[in-house]
Structure 1
Amino acid sequence: MFHLPAMTWTLTAVLLAGTTYHLWQALRSGHVTDRVNNTLHALMNTLMAAMLWNLAPTTLLAQIGLLAGAALWFIIQAVARPEYKLLCAGTQGRIKCAYHALTMTGAALMITTMTHPASGAPMQMPMDHASHHAITTTPHTPATTGTATTAPALGPTPGLLLTLLFATAALIFLILLLRNRTTTTNHHGSKRPSTRTEHALETLSATTMALMFATTA
Structure 2
Amino acid sequence: MIRVFNIPALTWTLTAILLAGGTYHLWQAARSPHLTDRVNNTLHTLMNTLMAAMLWNLAPSTTLAQIGLLAAAALWFIIQAVARPEYKLLCAGTQGRLKCAYHALTMTAAALMITLMTHPTTTTPTTPANQTPTPMPMPMAHAHHTMTTTPTTTTAAPLGHTPALLLTLLFTTAALTFLILLLRTPTTHPKTRQHHTRTEHALEALSATTMALMFATTT
TM-score by length of 2: 0.82
Residue 210, structure 1, aligned to residue 212, structure 2: yes
Distance in 1 between the 2:17 and 2:53 partners?
A: 13
Alignment of 1:108-147 (within 5 A): 108-116=111-119, 135=125, 139-140=127-128
How far residue 153 of structure 1 moved from its aligned partner, in angstroms, is 1.1
Flag the structure with larger Rg: 2
Please list every run of 5 or more consecutive structure 1 residues that lacks an aligned counterpart in the other structure.
186-191
Q: Partner letter of residue 11 of structure 2?
A: T
Unaligned runs of 5+ in 2: 130-149
| Aligned-pair identity (%) | 78
Q: SS at 1:11's partner residue?
A: helix
Secondary structure at the aligned position of 1:71 is classed as helix
- For 1:197, the equivalent position in structure 2 comes to 199
Query: Given the alignment, which residue of 151, 154, 160 partners 2:159?
Result: 154
- Distance in 1 (CA, whole Å) between partners of 2:107 and 2:161 is 21
Query: Which one of 70, 88, 92 corresponds to residue 91 of structure 2?
Result: 88
Partner in structure 2 of residue 8 of structure 1: 11
Is the alpha carbon distance of 1:76 and 1:22 closer, same or farther for their aligned partners in structure 2, counting shifts above 3 Å?
same
- The residue identity in structure 1 corresponding to 2:91 is C
Any idea what the Cα deviations from partners look like across 1:133-162, whole Å, max 9, x if unmatched?
x94xx7459xxx987633421111101110
Code of the residue aligned with 1:204 in structure 2: it is L
- Residues 102-159 of structure 1: CA deviation (Å, up to 9, x unaligned): 000000000011112xxxx6x8xxx9xxx9xx94xx7459xxx987633421111101
**Equivalents in 2 of 1:139, 1:97: separation in Å?**
52
**Residue in 2 aligned with 1:189?**
none
Q: How many residues align?
A: 193
- Given the alignment, which residue of 15, 18, 33 partners 2:36? 33
Question: For 1:146 and 1:163, how far apart are their aligned partners in 2?
Answer: 34
**Following the alignment from structure 1 to structure 2, what is the Cα–Cα distance between the partners of residues 153 and 26?**
36
Q: 1:150–1:193: structure 2 CA closer, same or farther, 3 Å change rule?
A: same
Which residue identity does 2:87 align to in structure 1?
Y
Q: What does 1:37-52 correspond to in 2, within 5 Å?
A: 37-52=40-55
TM-score, L = length of structure 1: 0.82
Q: Equivalents in 2 of 1:93, 1:184: separation in Å? A: 20
Counterpart CA distance in 2 for 1:148 and 1:154 is: 18
**2:165 alignment partner AA:** L
Which is bigger in relative contact order (C-alpha 8 A, separation at least 6)?
1
What is the RMSD of the two structures over their aligned residues, measured on CA atoms? 2.4
